């Protein structure tokens, strides 16, 4: 009888469906319903179920119909399995992350965050925003570098930077875009970790820890017209290409990026 999806196959399924419908509808068939159904049938170009003779009288083998339904079901399962393969592969990759390297990346990112936030908040309290700008500008890079121990790479990155030294590379940019999308969908994870091979064949754990904007950040990262005049002046003098403004509380601000070398 040819392929399952050819016209005769489609017709078989349609008539099979109509026969089932006929069994359900027929006992309670009244004039109003007959009118409704025939209108629907006309729109959908379906045959009148009452005029279709049963399978046995049309020489259609019921076993063949059943076989076709089974084949369709098996094909659907195979197609689904094929498309879900890449998903399974990425899950497997996630399992391959060495726990010791992941723990190192996590503690490095947390250590840097705590250090910088502690420094920022204590200077904000002691000297106000303009004093804190100076500290941030002069100390943040140096403090960050201090957390890079045992060949571990660590820094802050963002899609909109104030300091050009914090611009993401191609991999970080891709990871930041991924996090920004998840944040938009209200699914921002605690962190992002993946193993990647460099051009020289060495493998590294690439770890990103998202940073979300808080109330206290707005003094220096909110809209320019809401900043203290002295802060605005200091920032525009030090960072003429400053993009890190106009944030609101809860916005995705950037991430701490950590890379841990892995043994071959
Ligand atoms: C007193 C002003 C001030 C406040 C308040 C402040 N920042 Fe910043 N921020 C800066 C300056 C100055 C820089 C650029 C210096 C550097 O870090 O290299 C910066 C840089 C950053 C960077 C690095 C990326 C970039 O744009 O260069 C991130 C991430 C960041 N800030 C996040 C925050 C978060 C989150 C808060 C709130 C918890 C915050 N900042 C509060 C002044 C501030």
> CA–CA separation, 77 vs 115, rounded Å?
52
Tokens of 59: 């020489």
List, in sequence order, every residue forming a beta bridge with 134; answer none if it has no partner: none
Among candidate residues 83, 114, 149, the one where a domain is terminated: 83
Structural domain that includes position 66: 7-83
Contact 47, 16 (CB under 8 A): no
Q: Report the SS3 class of residue 208.
A: strand
Structural domains in the chain (count): 2
Contact 166, 155 (CB under 8 A): yes
User: Distance from the CA of 165 to the center of ligand 1, in angstroms?
Assistant: 12
- How far is CA 168 from each of CA 49, 117, 175, rounded to the nearest angstrom? 65, 21, 9
Are 169 and 191 part of one and the same domain? yes
Are 79 and 100 part of one and the same domain? no
Let me know if residue 205 belongs to a domain: yes
Q: How confident is the model at residue 88 (pLDDT cuts 50, 70, 90)?
A: very low
User: Distance from the CA of 229 to the center of ligand 1, in angstroms?
Assistant: 17
Element (H, E) at 77: helix 62-83
In the prediction, which pLDDT does 263 show?
Answer: 81
Are 239 and 208 part of one and the same domain? yes
Atom of ligand 1 nearest to the CA of 130: 1
In the prediction, which pLDDT does 154 show?
Answer: 97
Q: How large is the average pLDDT for residues 164-172?
A: 97
Let me know if residue 2 belongs to a domain: no
The model's pTM is: 0.69
Are 131 and 244 part of one and the same domain? yes
Let me know if residue 188 belongs to a domain: yes
Are 110 and 215 part of one and the same domain? yes
> CA–CA separation, 139 vs 150, rounded Å?
22
Atom of ligand 1 nearest to the CA of 164: 27
In the prediction, which pLDDT does 19 show?
Answer: 63
Are 128 and 59 part of one and the same domain? no
Which of these, 134, 84, 110, 115, lies nearest to 238 by C-alpha position? 134
Let me know if residue 137 belongs to a domain: yes
Q: How large is the average pLDDT for residues 48-75?
A: 78
Let me know if residue 30 belongs to a domain: yes
Does residue 119 line the site of ligand 1, with CB under 6 A?
Answer: no
Contact 222, 246 (CB under 8 A): yes
- CA-nearest residue, atom 43 of ligand 1: 220
Tokens of 12: 């078989």
Provide the angle, in degrees to the nearest 10, between the axes of the packed helices 229-238 and 99-146. Answer: 100
Q: How many CB atoms lie within 10 A of CB 8?
A: 12
Does residue 141 line the site of ligand 1, with CB under 6 A?
Answer: yes
Tokens of 87: 């998903």
User: Distance from the CA of 26 to the center of ligand 1, in angstroms?
Assistant: 73
Are 116 and 164 part of one and the same domain? yes
**φ, ψ dihedrals at 204, nearest 5°:** -135, 150
* Residue 8 pLDDT > 60: no
Q: Report the SS3 class of residue 258.
A: strand
Among candidate residues 62, 83, 104, the one where a domain is terminated: 83
Q: Report the SS3 class of residue 228.
A: coil
Tokens of 124: 């904000």
Are 132 and 175 part of one and the same domain? yes
Dihedral sign, CA of 133, 138, 144, 147?
Answer: negative
In the prediction, which pLDDT does 150 show?
Answer: 82
Tokens of 232: 């605005």
Among candidate residues 51, 83, 115, the one where a domain is terminated: 83
Are 109 and 16 part of one and the same domain? no
User: Distance from the CA of 118 to the center of ligand 1, in angstroms?
Assistant: 13
Are 178 and 228 part of one and the same domain? yes
Are 70 and 198 part of one and the same domain? no
Picking from 20-34, 182-196, 231-245, which range would have the lowest pLDDT averaged per residue?
A: 20-34
Tokens of 27: 């006992």
Let me know if residue 48 belongs to a domain: yes
> CA–CA separation, 57 vs 68, rounded Å?
20
Provide the angle, in degrees to the nearest 10, between the axes of the packed helices 62-83 and 85-95. Answer: 40
Residue carrying the six token digits 């390297």: 101
Q: How confident is the model at residue 35 (pLDDT cuts 50, 70, 90)?
A: low
Are 204 and 234 part of one and the same domain? yes
Let me know if residue 90 belongs to a domain: no
**φ, ψ dihedrals at 85, nearest 5°:** -60, -50
């Amino acid at each position: 009888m040819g392929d399952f999806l050819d016209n005769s196959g489609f017709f078989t399924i349609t008539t099979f469906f109509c026969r089932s419908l006929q069994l359900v509808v027929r006992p309670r068939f009244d004039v109003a319903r007959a009118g409704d159904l025939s209108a629907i049938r006309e729109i959908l170009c379906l045959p009148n179920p009452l005029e279709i003779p049963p399978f046995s009288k049309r020489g259609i083998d019921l076993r063949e119909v059943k076989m076709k339904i089974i084949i369709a079901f098996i094909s659907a399962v195979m197609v689904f399995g094929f498309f879900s393969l890449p998903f399974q592969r990425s899950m497997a990759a996630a399992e391959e992350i060495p726990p010791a390297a992941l723990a190192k990346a996590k503690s490095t990112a947390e250590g840097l965050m705590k250090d910088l936030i502690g420094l920022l908040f204590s200077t904000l309290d002691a000297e106000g925003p303009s004093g804190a700008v100076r500290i941030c500008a002069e100390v943040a890079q140096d403090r960050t570098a201090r957390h890079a121990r045992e060949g571990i790479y660590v820094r802050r990155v963002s899609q909109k930077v104030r300091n050009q030294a914090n611009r993401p590379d191609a991999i970080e940019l891709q990871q930041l875009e991924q996090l920004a999308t998840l944040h938009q969908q209200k699914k921002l994870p605690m962190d992002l970790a993946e193993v990647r091979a460099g051009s020289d064949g060495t493998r590294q754990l690439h770890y990103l820890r998202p940073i979300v904007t808080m109330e206290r950040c707005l003094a220096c990262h909110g809209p320019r017209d809401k900043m203290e005049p002295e802060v605005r002046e200091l920032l525009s003098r030090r960072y003429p290409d400053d993009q890190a403004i106009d944030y609101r509380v809860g916005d995705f601000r950037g991430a701490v990026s950590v890379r841990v070398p892995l043994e071959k």
